[in-house]
């Protein structure tokens, strides 16, 4: 059994990690880390875990946990892992970090967009960006995984095949994305109160959202061309889900059949990417609670543009599910273990 520790186990992503790992046949959670609930029974924080999890919450002592766990998931705010990371910890265990601390290769970009000093930039180069469908081989030998963000996972996978094949003009890419409120975390914030969110939709982080450079960096690697995008996220009154609608000009004339063949080529062997049938648009309700990414596209010959669409559950494929998928790859397990989740409906 793989011994697993979770720091930040009582946040939304941490709670989803617990849900997924309790159903994992080859993993055992040995540490439910939560600085806010030390010594409180985990099932008293999340009552859905009553008679499922008997353990109490522990602190965030990474040094002690590293000696007990084969892998540590850090579902923590930006800056936490960077502030405690050491070679001693990494020599004892593997780490899958759900924050942005090691996603960006240029530390100055991280510090600019996140507004904090990076405390351990010496580990940035080693960290593997854990987008499984793109970096699977690198994940296999990694000690430190930078688990991608939710908006970024959806946005990158939706455009990746066409960026890689040079079909789209990367200078014209616009991403319009919608997210449920769980993407903002479990902490109490005025903008996320029910009366503030219900019966409303709003853009936020316009031209300044922190996932922008992450999307740009990864699509630059894919296309081989410096990519600068317009990325506009929106908050919608639902618990879970991300829908990304992406627009780009075509570099040349093409057909539906050619584009569909490209997507199928890249994703036909991927267990968690579903390329939908013609004219079927992705919807968040059909991926809820699952590790699936639903993708499709529409050619607009009138404007010489393509509209690419993707949908995920932000807490599963956008966070905890992808983290478990990374763990499975790192330890040579069947990639779908613990993740064979049929989407929930209604």
Residue with structure tokens 């990494």?
90
Report the chain (346 residues): mean pLDDT per 10 consecutive residues: 98 98 98 97 98 97 97 97 98 98 98 98 98 98 97 98 98 97 86 91 96 98 98 97 98 98 98 98 98 98 98 98 98 98 96
In this prediction, residue 266 carries a pLDDT of 98
Residue 144 near residue 126 (C-beta atoms within 8 A): yes
**Domain 2-126: which CATH number of 3.40.630.30, 3.40.50.300, 3.20.20.60, 3.40.50.720:** 3.40.50.720
In this prediction, residue 189 carries a pLDDT of 84
Max CA-CA distance within the chain? 62
Domain 2-126 and domain 151-314, same fold? Reply is no
Backbone φ and ψ for 174, nearest 5 degrees, come out as -125, 130
In this prediction, residue 120 carries a pLDDT of 98
Structure tokens at 62: 């990474």
- What global pTM score does this model have? 0.96
Cis peptide before 346 (omega within 30 of 0): yes
Report d(CA 231, CA 121) in Å as an integer.
Answer: 26
In this prediction, residue 186 carries a pLDDT of 86
Residue with structure tokens 């793109």?
134
In this prediction, residue 188 carries a pLDDT of 76
In this prediction, residue 185 carries a pLDDT of 87
- Give the count of alpha carbons within 13 A of 5, CB side only: 26
Structure tokens at 334: 């069947």
CA 80 → CA 30, 83, 112, 118, distances in Å? 21, 5, 17, 10
At 138 the three-state DSSP class reads helix
For residue 102, what are the β-bridge partners? none
Catalytically active residues, by annotation: 150
Report d(CA 304, CA 312) in Å as an integer.
Answer: 27
Provide the phi-psi class of 277: left if phi over 0, else alpha when psi is between -120 and 50, else beta. Answer: beta
What sign has the CA pseudo-torsion 149, 155, 161, 163?
negative
Q: Where are the domains of the chain?
A: 2-126, 151-314
In this prediction, residue 284 carries a pLDDT of 98
Q: At the fourth CATH level, which superfamily is domain 151-314?
A: Dihydrodipicolinate Reductase; domain 2 (3.30.360.10)
Residue with structure tokens 């029974």?
41
Residues 6 or more apart from 82 whose CB is under 8 A from it?
101, 102, 118, 119, 120
At 249 the three-state DSSP class reads strand
What sign has the CA pseudo-torsion 7, 82, 323, 153?
positive
């Amino acid at each position: 059994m793989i011994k697993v520790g979770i720091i930040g186990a009582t946040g939304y992503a941490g709670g989803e990690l617990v849900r997924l790992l309790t159903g994992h046949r080859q993993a055992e959670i040995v540490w439910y880390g939560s600085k806010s609930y030390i010594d409180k029974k985990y099932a008293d924080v999340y009552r859905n875990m009553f008679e499922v999890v008997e353990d109490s919450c522990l602190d965030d002592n990474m040094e002690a946990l590293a000696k007990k766990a084969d892998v540590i998931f850090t579902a923590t705010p930006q800056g936490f892992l960077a502030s405690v990371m050491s070679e001693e910890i990494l020599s004892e265990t593997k780490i899958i970090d759900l924050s942005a601390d090691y996603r960006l290769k240029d530390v100055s970009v991280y510090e600019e967009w996140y507004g904090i000093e990076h405390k351990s930039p010496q580990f940035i180069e080693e960290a593997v960006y854990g987008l499984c469908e793109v970096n699977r081989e690198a994940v296999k030998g990694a000690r430190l995984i930078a688990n991608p963000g939710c908006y970024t996972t959806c946005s990158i996978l939706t455009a990746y095949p066409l960026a890689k094949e040079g079909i789209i003009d990367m200078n014209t890419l616009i991403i319009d994305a919608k997210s449920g409120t769980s993407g903002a975390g479990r902490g109490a914030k005025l903008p996320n109160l029910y009366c503030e969110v219900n019966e409303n939709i709003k853009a936020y982080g316009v031209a300044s959202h922190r996932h922008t450079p992450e999307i740009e960096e990864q699509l630059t690697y894919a296309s081989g061309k410096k990519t600068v995008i317009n990325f506009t996220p929106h908050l919608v009154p639902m618990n879970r889900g991300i829908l990304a609608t992406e627009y780009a000009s075509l570099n040349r004339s093409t057909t539906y059949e050619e584009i569909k063949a490209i997507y199928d080529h890249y994703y036909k062997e991927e267990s968690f990417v579903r390329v939908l049938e013609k004219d079927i648009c992705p919807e968040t309700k059909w991926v809820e609670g699952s590790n699936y990414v639903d993708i499709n596209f529409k050619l607009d010959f009138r404007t010489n543009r393509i509209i690419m669409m993707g949908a995920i559950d932000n807490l599963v494929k956008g966070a905890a599910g992808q983290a478990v998928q990374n763990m499975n790859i790192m330890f040579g397990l069947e990639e779908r273990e613990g993740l064979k989740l049929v989407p929930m409906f209604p």
